[in-house]
Amino acid sequence: MVALAPSLLSASFATLGETVAAFEDAEPAARPDLLHFDLMDGHFVPNLTFGTKVMQDLRELSTIPFDAHLMVENPEHYIDLCAAASVERVTVHTEATHQLPRLLAQIRKQGMVAGVALNPATSLETLRWVGEDLQFLLVMGVDPGFSGQHFLPQTIEKVAAARANLPKTCTIGVDGGVDANNAVDLVRAGAAMLVAGSSLFDGGNPLETLKALRNAVKAGES
């Protein structure tokens, strides 16, 4: 089954608590498998969002696992704060560190799942040196920094190459530009987790849209 994760960057920040509570109470088909949080520092990407306190406060409203996507420089500064916010998985960008294996070990030491994100122009080759330790790969479908950007179609090929080369123990996710038009192709290429922001929230009914995306993916899987 493919895991679906709404990116709260596309939700209104004025009503984040209500949005999380609505997801928590949703019927099973409309309930996210994870909630995706985009932390941006204005340096690694040209945008600012929020810090770990936002996750910590929202954590009280839901039991849905939290998925933190760190688009920050010095990601090692934020790992303990993510653990304190009871985050399930922390994904760091390989472009943001010179010491990827050490950073992943730091995340796992805190009992969290360690993920690596690759920008569109970053080769899969960088993962060779992480080896069997890689638990999760997040393939970016856009250059990170903003929601609502155009999906780069080469992402599908990259997911397929990753799936062919990485151990089966590594889950592959896709983030950026995911919608009902590309979700089935991404899943067929090997994605087992999809992040969706604007395609879920822009229509005004994220629960119904998530349910429709789940049904589309399920139909495409069979």
Asked if 186 touches ligand DX5 (CB under 6 A), the answer is no
Is the separation of the CB atoms in 141 and 159 below 8 Å?
Answer: no
CB of 153 to ligand DX5, least distance (A): 14
Asked if 135 touches ligand DX5 (CB under 6 A), the answer is no
Among 31, 69, 211, 214, binds Zn ion (CB under 5 A): 69
Other C-beta atoms closer than 10 Å to the C-beta of 35 total: 25
CB of 49 to ligand DX5, least distance (A): 9
Asked if 67 touches ligand DX5 (CB under 6 A), the answer is no
CB of 159 to ligand DX5, least distance (A): 15
Question: What span, in angstroms and rounded, lies between the C-alpha atoms of 139 and 48?
Answer: 21
Asked if 10 touches ligand DX5 (CB under 6 A), the answer is yes
Asked if 122 touches ligand DX5 (CB under 6 A), the answer is no
- Beta strands across the sheet bearing 35-40: 3-6, 193-196, 171-175, 136-140, 113-118, 89-93, 66-71, 35-40
Asked if 147 touches ligand DX5 (CB under 6 A), the answer is yes
Report 192-211 residues binding ligand DX5 (CB under 6 A). Answer: 195-199
E strand residue ranges, 72-192? 89-93, 113-118, 136-140, 171-175
State in Å, rounded, how far the first CA of the chain is from the last one: 11
Tokens of 174: 């896709």
CB of 157 to ligand DX5, least distance (A): 19
Dihedral pair phi/psi, residue 220, rounded to 5°: -70, -25
What are the residues binding Zn ion (CB under 5 A)?
38, 69, 175
What are the residues binding ligand DX5 (CB under 6 A)? 7, 9-10, 36, 38, 69, 142, 144-149, 175-178, 195-199
